[in-house]
Amino acid sequence: MPVLRTITHLILAAALVVGLADAAARADDGKVVYKSESSFEDTAFALESAIVDRGLVIDYQSFIGNMLARTGADVGSDKAIFGDAQIFVFCSAVLSRKMMEADPANVALCPWGVFVYDLPGEPEASYVGYRTLVDAQTPQEDARREIQALLDDIVREAGDVE
């Protein structure tokens, strides 16, 4: 009996671990972030190039890291969040139209943004990512999946991430 009880406990423990891992994999906090072993400057340049090389136009470049550093004291904080951080905002007429033809409310998802940042004390690493457009729990139209795949390709290329 003790052997059977031990085996049962092992099976239950394994099921719990698999269940928790599966739940964590399905949990979507709305962003995808990759760590790059390149500097912020190199990754930011590569990110901009990856967008433009696909024939897309960057509509806006947000210097969020500078803004947060500049206004920290004004809001009562002296914490350095980033070494630097930028967001590139862009769209594709073809993919945006496809997405909004599927559901006009998808206008809320456009334009798209990809970001790059580094952390204080990590000069030879940076982080690159994007806000997700699809939810693992809900079926999405093909256009949103296609756009998310494009965003993923862009940030993986910029971050030199496999």
pLDDT in tens, 78-110: 999 999 999 999 999 999 999 999 889 989 999
On whether residue 134 sits in a domain, the answer given is yes
Number of separate domains in the chain: 1
Whether residue 135 is contained in a domain is answered as yes
Q: What is the DSSP string of 39-107?
A: -HHHHHHHHHHHHHTTT-EEEEEE-HHHHHHHHTGGGT------SEEEEEEEE-HHHHHHHHHH-GGGG
Residue 97 covered by a domain = yes
> Is residue 35 included in any domain, yes or no?
yes
Within a domain: 108: yes
Which carries the bigger pLDDT value, residue 37 or residue 122? 37
Record the pTM.
Answer: 0.78
Residue-number span of the structural domain to which 64 is assigned? 29-159
Q: Please report whether residue 11 resides in a domain.
A: no
The encoded tokens of residue 76 equal 């009562």
Residues of the chain with pLDDT > 70, as a percent, come to 80
Return the minimum-mean-pLDDT range out of 5-9, 98-102, 116-120.
Answer: 5-9
Give dist(CA 143, CA 98) in Å, integer: 6
Looking at the domain assignment, is residue 138 inside a domain?
Answer: yes
Residue with tokens 């806000």: 131
Q: What is the CATH number for 118?
A: 3.30.310.70
